[in-house]
Chains A and B, each alone.
Chain A
Amino acid sequence: SQQGEEDPQALSIQEGENATMNCSYKTSINNLQWYRQNSGRGLVHLILIRSNEREKHSGRLRVTLDTSKKSSSLLITASRAADTASYFCATDAKNTDKLIFGTGTRLQVFP
């Protein structure tokens, strides 16, 4: 299966610290996307990185992709209490556009 697995499962940090979440997957991908979900709410798209890209930035977010290790990381710099949420990676393979979601990392940022 192409399932993504995130680690850690849960992460607690203080405001101002950086948060790093990792995602691993099993098969070749076309793209990898990161989403955020506040408790019981919808999925908010954060960033998409294509398989031929190695790094991408968006504001305080930095995503890296290592296709040789089949892994990606999401770094949130200078975290805020409002960043508290679950973060999921989702991959899609060539010839399909269904997303396979990982297990998610629950991030808690304390003020």
Chain B
Amino acid sequence: EPEVTQTPSHQVTQMGQEVILRCVPISNHLYFYWYRQILGQKVEFLVSFYNNEISEKSEIFDDQFSVERPDGSNFTLKIRSTKLEDSAMYFCASTLAGGGETQYFGPGTRLLVL
């Protein structure tokens, strides 16, 4: 069964460094998302992406964050200058169509900022 994959599974970085989290959505899906979950807290929406542009973003998704679909398969989240509070599990999700269809999540990247 097709699934969303994410790399790396774990990333440790120093505060102020840039990180890029990578995702390969399900191949025929058109809508892509990033969510994050700080340890012990709710899963929070960051951004949605369709047709090579951001369709919606949350207040968390400030200028330090960016997303890109550099080729036909990858979908990346870049954090330009990491802060301690960016430590979280980051999930990528994809769906075939927008408008409330099932979102399939990847296994997540656990980011630790020291």
Contacts and interface: CB of A to CB of B under 8 A. Distances in A.
Q: Do A and B come from one complex?
A: yes
A63 B42 CA distance: 21
A38 to B, nearest CB: 10
Interface in A66-106: 88, 90, 92, 96-104
Contact of A42 (B42, B91, B100): B91
Contacts of B100: 30-31, 50, 92, 97
Interface in B79-114: 89, 91, 93, 95, 98-108, 110
Interface in A27-51: 30-31, 33, 35, 40-45, 48, 50
B44 interface: yes
Interface string B12-53: 000000000000000000010101000000111100100000
Size category of the B interface is: 20 to 34
A103 B110 CA distance: 19
Contacts of A48: 101-102
A91 to B, nearest CB: 9
Q: Chain B at the A interface: mostly helix, strand, loop or mixed?
A: strand
A33 B110 CA distance: 24
A97 B42 contact: no
B99 A101 contact: no
B56 interface: yes
Interface in B47-63: 48, 56, 58
Contacts of B35: 99, 101
Contacts of A30: 99-100
Interface of A: 3, 30-31, 33, 35, 40-45, 48, 50, 88, 90, 92, 96-104
Given A33-B103, A48-B101, 11 more contacts: A30-B100, A41-B108, A42-B106, A43-B93, A43-B105, A90-B43, A97-B31, A97-B99, A98-B56, A101-B43, A103-B42
16 contacts: A30-B99, A40-B89, A40-B110, A42-B106, A45-B105, A88-B43, A92-B100, A97-B48, A97-B56, A97-B95, A97-B99, A97-B100, A98-B58, A99-B35, A100-B45, A104-B42
